[in-house]
Amino acid sequence: MGVLSESNLKVLLGALDSMGYSVIAAKNGQEALDMIHSHPMIDLVILDLMMPRISGLDVCRTIRSTHTLTEIPVLILTAAGQIGDIVASFEAGANDFLQKPVKLPELKARVESLLLMKKSVQEALQHELDFLQAQITPHFLYNTLNTIVSLSYKDVEKMRDIINDLTYYLRAKFDFYNQERLIPLTRELELVRAYLGIEQVRYSTRLRVMFEIDEEIACLLPPLTIQPLVENAVRHGIAPKLSGGTITLSVYQTTDMIYITVADDGVGIAESRMKEIVSGQYKGVGLRSVDKRLQTFYQCRLQVESSYGTRTTITIALRKEKLL
């Protein structure tokens, strides 16, 4: 996206077009913000420092209030020799600057550098997601197969049910990784139900599950957004508690928001661990991966509340205006 004065805009459009990029042009700052809202897959924004209605600095600040440096890189054009403008641009959240008059080789190099940075971060997230799959699946499979062997001697019908759940669970997970960036909420919930069906057989009466789902809600999520949170609740909340406990999965909405909560009445999270979570220093790959992907797609963070020894609640709060 380019947001520049009319003369600079013509030069920029011609240059970027010759480089093979698709460009959306905005005449002023407000139009740029409206376009960013209506085109969520914009890869890069180029701003002129001086623009009508809203300055480039103000546009950049507004972008940074909802998007990180790697989600939407911002390149700001400044007047030559104006050190104060350069400092102000970085303080407003710009990734880089380019002095006018623009030299095309330098423009090309800076644009390519910022797009490469964004691509590298996205690939790192995907690698982390792949690692999450490799980390969870062997552990989960080992326990589930042991349960199936045990059931084969005493309850064939229940054994068939758990095999069906396991088949759906594995097929869905591999399909998510190999095909889609976003999936319908209903598909993610089907995966969660299959996972919990398996775990309820394993834990028997120690694991109770409650679903509070508004079936009218429809939205898209990054794959494996809810299931890792539920698995985390089972493994770290309910499993360590001798008497077991209850996991409650809720999906509800207000006028402007959709809320997804995973709550358990297990052992809770220790204060030292909560400090790490609140500061964003997740050690567990599952929580960190979900949190980063929610930031990338919907500019929101996981909200974690816990009382050590009694409960944990993790909430995803999605603004409807940002949903894809």
3-state helix, strand, coil split of the chain in percent (to 5) is 55, 20, 30
Cα angle 195, 285, 125; round to 5 = 105
Pairing verdict, β 303-307 and 311-319: antiparallel
Whole-number pLDDT of residue 54: 81
State how far Cα 266 lies from the chain centre.
26
Whole-number pLDDT of residue 81: 62
Take residue 271 and report the two structure tokens written for it: 């204060």
Whole-number pLDDT of residue 285: 60
In the chain, the amino acid numbered 282 is: Y
Fold of the domain built from segment(s) 2-102:
Rossmann fold (3.40.50)
List phi, psi (to 5°) of 171: -65, -45
Q: For residue 34, what are the contacts with CB-CB under 8 A and spacing of at least 6?
A: none
What whole-number distance in Å separates Cα of residue 268 and Cα of residue 237? Answer: 6
Judge whether 260 and 251 are in contact, CB under 8 Å: yes
What whole-number distance in Å separates Cα of residue 258 and Cα of residue 127? Answer: 28
Judge whether 230 and 261 are in contact, CB under 8 Å: no
Task: Give me the torsion for CA of 20, 22, 25, 29, rounded to 10°.
Answer: -110
What whole-number distance in Å separates Cα of residue 247 and Cα of residue 312? Answer: 10
Span between the terminal Cα atoms of the chain, in Å: 19
In order along its 324 residues, the chain shows pLDDT tens digits of 555 555 566 777 777 878 888 888 887 888 888 888 777 678 899 988 877 778 888 989 988 887 778 888 999 988 766 788 888 889 999 999 888 888 888 888 999 999 898 888 777 766 666 665 555 566 677 778 888 888 888 888 888 888 988 887 877 766 655 555 788 999 999 999 999 999 998 898 999 999 999 999 999 998 889 998 999 999 999 999 999 999 999 999 999 999 999 999 999 998 888 887 777 666 666 787 788 888 877 878 899 999 999 999 999 999 888 776
Whole-number pLDDT of residue 238: 96
Can you name the residues that pair with 220 across neighbouring β-strands?
Answer: 184
Q: For residue 313, what are the contacts with CB-CB under 8 A and spacing of at least 6?
A: 261, 262, 263, 304, 305, 306
What whole-number distance in Å separates Cα of residue 243 and Cα of residue 204? Answer: 11
Judge whether 262 and 229 are in contact, CB under 8 Å: yes
pTM: 0.64
Whole-number pLDDT of residue 236: 92
Q: For residue 69, what are the contacts with CB-CB under 8 A and spacing of at least 6?
A: 93, 95
List phi, psi (to 5°) of 78: -125, 160
Whole-number pLDDT of residue 323: 78
Please tell us whether the domain made up of 123-322 is placed in CATH 3.40.50.970.
no
- Which segments of the chain belong to CATH 3.40.50.2300? 2-102
- Which segments of the chain belong to CATH 3.30.565.10? 123-322
- Residue 241: burial class (beta carbons within 10 Å; 0-12, 13-18, 19+): middle
Whole-number pLDDT of residue 255: 93
Whole-number pLDDT of residue 35: 84
Task: Using alpha carbons, select from 312, 277, 318, 270 the residue that is nearest to residue 297.
Answer: 318
State how far Cα 203 lies from the chain centre.
31
Whole-number pLDDT of residue 99: 85
